[in-house]
Amino acid sequence: MSSDHEEPTDRGAVGRMVFDATLAIVVAAVGYFVSGIATEIKELKSTDTTLRSEISAIRERQPIDYVRKEEYRSDIVDIKRLLERIEGKVDRKQDRAAEVSPRDARAGRDINR
């Protein structure tokens, strides 16, 4: 009868070993997976650091390489004002030249004033 009594203990021990082995395999697989994720996170952090430094360099160069829209518009307004002044001066000069008679021009008067 002692063999009947030992058999359930052996089954329990075998069942416990199977459970422990399965648990060890699952824990090892999860550990491997988490380790892979940790490695990828470290790589992403290093890539993030690199990208941040590149973006910082671009932000520093941007005002030198590009003109802001507001600055462009104000410069265009200034150029238009300057062209209007030049156009006004050319028109006045043309009007003066038309008013001067050919006799005045031969007399040596300066028609360019």
pLDDT at 10: 82
Residue 66 has pLDDT above 70, yes or no: yes
Q: Compute the half-sphere exposure of residue 13: CA atoms within 13 Å on the CB side of its CA.
A: 5
Contact 100, 109 (CB under 8 A): yes
Instruction: Please tell me the predicted confidence (pLDDT) of residue 95.
Output: 84
Residues 47 and 82: their CA atoms lie apart, in Å, by: 50
Mean predicted confidence (pLDDT) in 81-108: 80
Burial group, residue 112, by CB count within 10 angstroms (0-12, 13-18, 19+): exposed
pLDDT digits (tens, 9 = 90+) for 30-62: 999 999 999 999 999 999 999 999 999 999 998
Task: Flag whether pLDDT at 9 surpasses 80.
Answer: no
Residue 5: both structure tokens together = 């009594």
**Rounded to 5°, angle at Cα 31 from 30 and 36:** 100
pLDDT of residue 7: 59
